[in-house]
Amino acid sequence: MNILEKLRQGNHTCRLQGKEFVLLSGLLTLAHDNGIESIDAQLIEHDPGEKIAVFRCLATGTRGSFTGHGDASPANLSRNMIPSYIRMAETRSIARSLRFYLGIGMCARDELPGNMGNQEPEPQQKKQPQIQNGAPSHDPSWKEDRKAFCAAVQEFGGYDAVAVWAESNGWERPSYWSQFKRTRLIEKLRAGETQIVPF
């Protein structure tokens, strides 16, 4: 199985406006599976007044060393992400360097400008939840993803607070979600786009 097939199998790609994009979560996972030794992102340009930042990232490992650049400014960020312009520039540089390290030509969602990178993925064929013992079964990725997800949402009130929030919004508990949807929620919580009130 090649790298791109592994990304798709792990739900680490998404489709937006008919095109497929890789997710940073998948790039990081595969980089660690493919001998990554260091990821060094450095701020090389910064204009606080204009809210412009440029990072250069060097990804080094058994595959060699690969450099990627990432920039962020009000011109290529959605309005609610402008306060996080430094972090977005860093993330874009890391995604680009890891794509080069892994030999992936597909653009990362995090590299997309403006609101495009914040769009929800296009709906795929809806899966009916499987029923076991009279109740819906967890998403197949939950067993592997549970510890990481629970640790990631701990600072936002923990799994129970997230589950109550999800159900109050008419959704199932996160254990029934796809790994992509759980990853997207964590990104929104960290960016301040979604707020959950702890118990």
What pLDDT digit, counting tens, does each position of 131-178 carry? 444 444 677 778 888 888 888 888 888 888 888 877 766 677 888 888
Distance CA 5, CA 38 (A): 24
Handedness of CA 154, 156, 159, 160 (dihedral sign): positive
Distance of CA 102 to the CA centre of its chain: 17
Q: Which domain holds residue 101?
A: 3-118
Amino acid, single-letter form, for residue 49: G
Whether residue 85 is predicted with pLDDT greater than 70 in this model: the reply is: yes
Please give the share of the chain, as a percent, with pLDDT higher than 90.
35
pLDDT band with cut points at 50, 70 and 90 for residue 9? confident
59 and 155 belong to one structural domain:
no
Kindly state the tokens that stand for 182: 């759980």
Kindly state the tokens that stand for 16: 């937006």
Please tell me the predicted confidence (pLDDT) of residue 81: 85
Structural element, H or E, at residue 155 = none
Residue indicated by tokens 């790039």: 27
112 and 153 belong to one structural domain:
no
9 and 84 belong to one structural domain:
yes
Kindly state the tokens that stand for 77: 């960020």
pLDDT band with cut points at 50, 70 and 90 for residue 37? very high
Which residues are within 8 A (CB) of 97 and not within 5 positions of it... i.e. 6 or more apart? 39, 57, 58, 59, 66, 67, 68
* C-alpha dihedral, 134 to 147 to 161 to 121, nearest 10°: -80
Decide if 130 is inside a domain: no
What rounded mean pLDDT belongs to the chain? 82
Distance CA 99, CA 24 (A): 9
Please give the share of the chain, as a percent, with pLDDT higher than 70.
84
For the stretch 2-11, contacts whose Cβ atoms lie closer than 8 Å and that sit 24 or more positions apart, written own/partner, are 3/30, 3/34, 3/102, 3/103, 3/104, 4/104, 4/106, 6/30, 7/104, 10/141, 10/179, 11/141, 11/178, 11/179, 11/180
pLDDT higher at 43 or 106: 43
pLDDT higher at 182 or 64: 64
Q: Looking at the DSSP assignment, which residues form a beta bridge with residue 20? A: 15
Q: How many domains does the chain have?
A: 2
Whether residue 115 is predicted with pLDDT greater than 90 in this model: the reply is: no
Amino acid, single-letter form, for residue 169: N
Domain boundary among 118, 148, 183: 118
Please tell me the predicted confidence (pLDDT) of residue 49: 95
Please tell me the predicted confidence (pLDDT) of residue 167: 75
Residue indicated by tokens 């510890």: 147
On whether the CB atoms of residues 156 and 182 are closer than 8 A, the answer is no
Task: List, for residues 48-82, the tens digit of each pLDDT value.
Answer: 999 999 999 999 999 999 999 999 999 998 888 88
8 and 59 belong to one structural domain:
yes
Decide if 98 is inside a domain: yes
Please tell me the predicted confidence (pLDDT) of residue 190: 81
Decide if 20 is inside a domain: yes
25 and 96 belong to one structural domain:
yes
36 and 97 belong to one structural domain:
yes
Decide if 197 is inside a domain: no
Please tell me the predicted confidence (pLDDT) of residue 38: 96
Please tell me the predicted confidence (pLDDT) of residue 169: 67
pLDDT higher at 127 or 82: 82
109 and 164 belong to one structural domain:
no
12 and 79 belong to one structural domain:
yes
145 and 108 belong to one structural domain:
no
Whether residue 84 is predicted with pLDDT greater than 50 in this model: the reply is: yes
156 and 113 belong to one structural domain:
no
Decide if 133 is inside a domain: no
Decide if 127 is inside a domain: no
68 and 154 belong to one structural domain:
no
